Amino acid sequence: MITRAELQKEYEGYKALGLKLDMTRGKPAREQLDIMEPLLGVLSTKDDCIIDGIDCRNYGILDGIPAAKRIFSDILGVPTEKIIVGGNSSLNLMYDTMARAMLSGVVGSDKPWSKYEQISFLCPVPGYDRHFAICEYFGINMIKIPMTSEGPDMNMVEKLVKDDDSIKGIWCVPKYANPSGITYSAETVRRFASLKPKAKDFRVFWDNAYAIHDLSDTPDELPDILSIAAEYGNENMFFEFTSTSKISFPGSGLAAIASSVENIKAITKQLSYQTIGYDKLNQLRHIKLFPDKQSLINHMKLHRAIIKPKFDAVLNEFDRCNIHKLEGVSYTRPNGGYFISLNLPNGCAKRLVKLAADAGLALTAAGATFPYGKDPNDSNLRIAPTFPPLEDIEKAAKVLACCIRLTVAEYEEKFACGADYQK
C-alpha cells in the first residue's frame, strides 16, 4: 500500500511534467473521424444525387427520404412510419420537441406547457448536462431522481407522476446512460411503458443516443419502448431520439425522432411551418455508406476497436491502484456508450477536479451531471476517455488514479480531524 507521502510525491511528479490532457467531453477521437473518410466523397456526380426517383439536390420531402428512415429503423428497431429524419443534431430535435410542447402543447393536451404557472420534469441523476440545460432555459423545474443499477428509481417516478399533474415529463438515456453507462432493465422499460401519469400531457424524452454503441461482445439489450408502450395504449407518451453523431461525423451526421404514428404526423405538420426540409444530400451520403444493417454493425466494430482500449486504460489503472477498494469510491464498467461514472465520498468531486487540473488533466466540471450544475453531494464525476489519443489516456489514467487516491486521503485526514469537508 502506497503511503500518503509517496502519493503526494507521485502527484508532484505529474505536476512537474507540465501535462495538458483533456477528458472533459464525450467527443469521438480523430481516428474515429478518419474511418468515416469514405462518406466525404460518396456523392460526386449529379447522378449520384437521385434515389428512388427523388432528386436530393432540390426542395421537397420534409420528414426524411425513405432510405434514410431505414437506417434509423435499423438502429432503433422501430418501423419507418414512426420515424422522422431531421437535421444534424438530436439535441436540436429534443429542444424543438420541448419548444413545440411549450408553445403548442402535445397531442391530446389541453394547453401549451408555457401556459402553466410552473411545470416540472423528472431528471434522473447523474445525467446529461444538455438535457438539464434545456429545462433550465425554458424555466422548467427539475426534480432529481436517483439512478439505480436498473435505471431511474421507478418507485419514485411512479409515485410522483401519479399524484402531480404539473410533472410533464422525464429525461431518459435508456441505453449506456450518460454518464453511468447502465442500460435500463427490461422491468424498468416495462414500468415506463405502463406508466399512469396524472398529467395526460406527460412525455418521456427517451434519448437513445448510444443505441448501437457497444464496447463488449455481450452488449446490453434494450427492448423497443414504443412497441411495449403500445401494449398499454401509451405510445403517444414517448419521444425517442437518436443520431449518427457518434457513428459518422458529430455535427455532420443525421438525427432522428421516433414516436407513435399519431405523434409523428403531428410533428410533421408542425415542421411544415418550421423548415423547408432537412439536408437530403447528407441523408443520401449516409445511405450510400450504410446500405444495410450489417454495414452499420461492422462500422460500429471499428469504433469499438478504437475506444475500447481507452476505457480499458482507465479501468485497468483504477484496478491496479485498487481505487474500488477506497472507502466511498465506486465507478462503472460500461458495456457501451462514452463515459465512466465515478462516485467519490461526499464533498470530494470538486477537489478532485482541482487536483487534476493542477496536474494538467482537465476533467468535466464537478456538478455537470446534475441540474443547474449543482451536485448536492459533490460526489459524482463523468470521465470521458474517448477523445484523446490512447497514449494520452494512459497518462491521464495514471494522473487521475493518483488524484483520486490523494483526494480520498485528504478527505480521510480531514474526516479524522472532525473537519466538515463538504463546506
19-38: which residues touch a copy of itself (CB under 8 A)?
25, 27-28, 30, 33-34, 36-37
Q: How far is the CB of 168 from a copy of itself (least distance, A)?
A: 15
**Which residues does 347 contact at the CB level (< 8 Å), separation at least 6?**
377, 378, 379, 411, 421, 422
| φ and ψ at residue 352, rounded to 5 degrees | -65, -45
* Binding residue for a copy of itself, selected from 1, 5, 20, 45, defined by CB under 8 A: 45
Inter-residue contact 145 to 156 (CB < 8 Å): yes
DSSP state of 82: G
From residue 129 to residue 158, the character string flagging contacts with a copy of itself as x (rule: CB under 8 A) and all else as - is -x--xx-xxx--------------------
Q: Which of 114/141 has CB closer to a copy of itself?
A: 114
Query: What distance in Å separates the CA atoms of residue 247 and residue 72, rounded to the nearest whole number?
Result: 12
- Name the nearest CA neighbour of 77 among 252, 242, 300: 242
Task: Tell whether residue 106 is a contact of a copy of itself (CB under 8 A).
Answer: no
| φ and ψ at residue 230, rounded to 5 degrees | -60, -35
Task: Tell whether residue 389 is a contact of a copy of itself (CB under 8 A).
Answer: no
Task: Tell whether residue 277 is a contact of a copy of itself (CB under 8 A).
Answer: yes
Task: Tell whether residue 340 is a contact of a copy of itself (CB under 8 A).
Answer: no
Report how far apart, in Å, the C-alpha atoms of 212 and of each of 90, 194, 405 are.
15, 25, 34
Stretch near a copy of itself under the rule CB under 8 A, chosen from 90-98, 147-155, 161-169, 326-334: 90-98
Task: Tell whether residue 40 is a contact of a copy of itself (CB under 8 A).
Answer: yes
- Relative to beta strand 255-258, strand 83-85 is antiparallel
Task: Tell whether residue 270 is a contact of a copy of itself (CB under 8 A).
Answer: yes
Task: Tell whether residue 87 is a contact of a copy of itself (CB under 8 A).
Answer: yes
Task: Tell whether residue 200 is a contact of a copy of itself (CB under 8 A).
Answer: no
Q: Is 252 exposed, middle or buried (0-12, 13-18, 19+ CB in 10 A)?
A: middle
List residues binding a copy of itself (CB under 8 A): 25, 27-28, 30, 33-34, 36-37, 40-41, 43-46, 48-49, 55-60, 87-89, 91-92, 95-96, 99, 102-104, 112, 114, 130, 133-134, 136-138, 245, 249-252, 270, 272-282
